[in-house]
């Protein structure tokens, strides 16, 4: 797009930022005017026409509202609603920048930016195809549009964040309950990053023993331990140049945390049994079902590691807080499984829709997905009814009964498994640890008891 006929105003109280913007845009646009004091915005816009304003989120000004960028954005949109506004923000203000989109901003750019990214953001905003317009039009052909669905306000916030965080190399911590889709968020960030053509490597670190942790992540040399029969590349090296996704990061021990922190600080790994470190270049994404308050407990998790993995955080909301997204997702899964099981188009009657909306989904999106799949397999008609929707027995497990029949060994084992899984909110890794089983052994028992 040729920007030679467009005029741009940049407002920021950092002279270095204004200098960088002026040098970048001067040869590209009709005019670039820079201004340090936002209180001059009104006078400037009443005297001169601009097509776009680059506006900082934070000013040390007399307004002092704590979100000066929003204040001045509103003033600009009141005075010149046709002007596209791009907010300039830092990682720590991304939540505020997301709010700015709802107040009329076309997009926001995170400091420090790549010049190519700033130019493309400016072009899109002037064409009226900024981030706000893209999200309003749908998720596109990426994971956010195909698998991570929803039009609720909380999900729009997440889509905005992913779109802005992804092109950076910032470490991301994705938080949320089990089954909310944290892995899809991680994949979406990778898909939209500058590393999209490089490997995306996922590791369930919460399921690794102390020995396997080092071998799996860092690799080993032949003979490093009894079963090390050949050299093996660890996941860090496998993800070199791409993205490493560490799932269930909140479940690793303090010893494992120390080893992980060393690698992240040095950006190099040493295979078990080797002496020579190998440099690695990875973008790190971590996920946990623990709240940040628990991660901040140093008896459980090292604070220095929390800061290392948490440059930016994204909290994925539970399904019960996503309103009509439940229906959107249910229809998506109905179409998906109707195709899989070679059924004609499957719909829902009013009773089924009401049942879907009223349920609390302790298993979140994963539980909804399995519920719809089960209903389509078992139903005969083309319209699912209330009776066809049977929610997971794992999530609605009964308490241990005191009746004599329940004293049978198999019944006691089944009830114990149900109680422990319920205690840990469906987290199989934690349940297996408490029961003294491996995840594989626990899954075998779940199948045995048809849980």
The reply to whether 169-315 shares the fold of 7-137 is yes
* CA gap 95, 369 in Å, rounded: 29
CATH topology of domain 169-315: Rossmann fold (3.40.50)
Maximum alpha-carbon separation in the chain: 87
pLDDT at residue 172 in the model: 93
Task: Please give the helix or strand (H or E) that residue 52 lies within, else none.
Answer: strand 52-56
* pLDDT tens-digit map of 328-369: 999 999 999 998 988 888 899 999 999 999 999 999 999 999
Q: How confident is the model at residue 131 (pLDDT cuts 50, 70, 90)?
A: low
**Looking at residue 135, what is its pLDDT?**
56
Question: What is residue 271's predicted lDDT score, i.e. its pLDDT?
Answer: 83
pLDDT per residue over 163-190, tens digit each?
A: 888 888 889 999 999 999 999 999 999 9
In words, the CATH class of domain 319-388 is mainly alpha
Residue with tokens 């470190």: 277
Question: Which contiguous run of DSSP H or E holds residue 265?
Answer: helix 254-266
446 phi and psi angles, rounded to 5 deg: -60, -40
DSSP E strand stretches across 289-360: 312-315, 347-348
What mean pLDDT is reported for the chain?
Answer: 83
The confidence score (pLDDT) of residue 399 equals 40
Q: For residues 79-95, give the mean pLDDT.
A: 83
Sorted by sequence, the CB contacts under 8 Å of residue 68 that are 6+ apart come out as 38, 57, 58, 59, 61
Residue extents of the structural domains in the chain: 7-137, 169-315, 319-388, 404-448
CATH for 404-448? 1.10.10
Q: Which residues lie below 8 Å from residue 383, measured CB to CB, with a gap of 6+?
A: 346, 347, 348, 349, 352
pLDDT at 2 over 50: yes
State yes or no: pLDDT of 265 exceeds 80. Answer: yes
State the average pLDDT over residues 267-295: 88
Rounded to two decimals, the pTM is: 0.62
Whether 244 has a pLDDT exceeding 90, the answer reads yes
Band (pLDDT 50/70/90 cuts) for residue 85 is very high
pLDDT of 284 reads: 95
Better pLDDT: 251 or 64: 251
Instruction: Check pLDDT > 80 for residue 441.
Output: no
Segment 100-110, tens digit of pLDDT: 887 888 888 88
The predicted structure's pLDDT at residue 44:
94
Q: Which two tokens stand for residue 19?
A: 């200098």
Mean pLDDT score, 122-144: 63
pLDDT band at 224 (very low <50, low <70, confident <90, very high): low
pLDDT of residue 226: 63
Residue 64 pLDDT more than 60? Answer: no
Determine how many CB atoms are found less than 10 A away from the CB of residue 434: 14
Which range is least confidently modeled, 226-235, 252-261, 268-277, 327-336?
Answer: 226-235
Q: Which residue has the higher pLDDT, 264 or 439?
A: 264
Instruction: Please return the burial class of 141, using the count of CB atoms within 10 Å of its CB with bins 0-12, 13-18 and 19+.
Output: exposed
Highest mean pLDDT among 98-102, 195-199, 218-222, 406-410: 195-199
pLDDT at 50: 93
Q: Is 383 helix (H, G, I), strand (E, B) or coil?
A: strand
Each residue of 317-328: pLDDT tens digit? 999 999 999 999
Q: What is the pLDDT of residues 372-422, one digit of tens each?
A: 999 999 888 889 999 999 887 765 544 444 344 444 566 777 778 888 887
- Give the residue ranges of DSSP H helices in 26-130: 41-47, 68-79, 94-102, 115-126
Fold of 7-137: Rossmann fold (3.40.50)
Tell me how far apart the alpha carbons of residues 314 and 13 are, in angstroms, rounded to a whole number: 29
Q: How far apart are CA 203 and CA 209, in angstroms?
A: 13
């Amino acid at each position: 797009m040729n920007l030679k006929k467009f005029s741009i105003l940049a407002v920021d109280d950092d002279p270095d930022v204004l200098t960088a913007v002026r040098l970048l845009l001067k040869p590209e646009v009709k005019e670039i005017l820079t201004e340090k004091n936002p209180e001059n915005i009104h006078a400037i816009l009443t005297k001169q026409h601009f097509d776009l304003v680059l506006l900082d989120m934070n000013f040390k000004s007399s307004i002092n509202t704590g979100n000066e960028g929003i204040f001045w954005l509103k003033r600009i949109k009141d005075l010149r609603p046709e002007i596209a506004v791009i907010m300039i923000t830092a990682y720590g203000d991304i939540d505020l920048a997301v709010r700015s989109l709802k107040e009329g901003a076309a997009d926001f750019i995170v400091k420090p930016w790549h010049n190519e990214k700033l130019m493309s953001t400016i072009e899109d905003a002037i064409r009226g195809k900024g981030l706000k317009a893209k999200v309003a039009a749908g998720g596109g052909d990426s994971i956010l549009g195909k698998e991570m669905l929803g039009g609720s306000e909380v999900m729009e916030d997440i889509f905005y964040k992913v779109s802005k965080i992804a092109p950076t190399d910032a470490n991301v911590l994705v938080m949320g309950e089990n089954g909310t889709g944290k892995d899809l968020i991680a994949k979406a960030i990778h898909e939209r990053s500058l590393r999209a053509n490089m490997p995306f490597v996922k590791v369930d670190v919460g399921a690794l023993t102390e020995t396997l942790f080092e071998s799996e992540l860092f690799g080993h040399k032949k003979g490093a331990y009894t079963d090390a029969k050949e050299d093996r590349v660890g996941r860090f090296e496998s993800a070199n140049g791409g993205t490493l996704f560490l799932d269930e990061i909140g479940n690793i021990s303090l010893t494992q945390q120390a080893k992980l922190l060393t690698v992240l600080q040095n950006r190099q790994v040493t295979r078990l049994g080797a002496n020579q470190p190998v440099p690695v270049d990875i973008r790190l994404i971590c996920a946990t079902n623990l709240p940040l308050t628990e991660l901040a407990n140093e008896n459980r998790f090292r604070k220095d590691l929390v800061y290392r993995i948490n440059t930016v955080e994204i909290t994925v909301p539970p399904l019960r807080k996503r309103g009509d997204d439940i229906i959107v997702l249910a229809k998506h899964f109905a179409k998906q499984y109707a195709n899989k099981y070679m059924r004609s188009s499957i719909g829902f009657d009013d009773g089924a829709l009401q049942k879907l909306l009223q349920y609390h989904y302790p298993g979140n999106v994963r539980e909804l997905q399995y519920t719809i799949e089960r209903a389509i397999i078992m139903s005969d008609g083309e319209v699912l009814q209330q009776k066809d929707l049977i929610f997971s027995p794992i999530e609605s497990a009964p308490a241990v009964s005191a009746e004599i029949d329940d004293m049978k060994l198999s019944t006691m084992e089944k009830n114990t498994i149900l109680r422990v899984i319920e205690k840990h909110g469906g987290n199989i890794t934690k349940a297996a640890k408490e029961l003294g089983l491996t995840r594989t052994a626990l899954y075998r028992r779940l199948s045995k008891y048809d849980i």
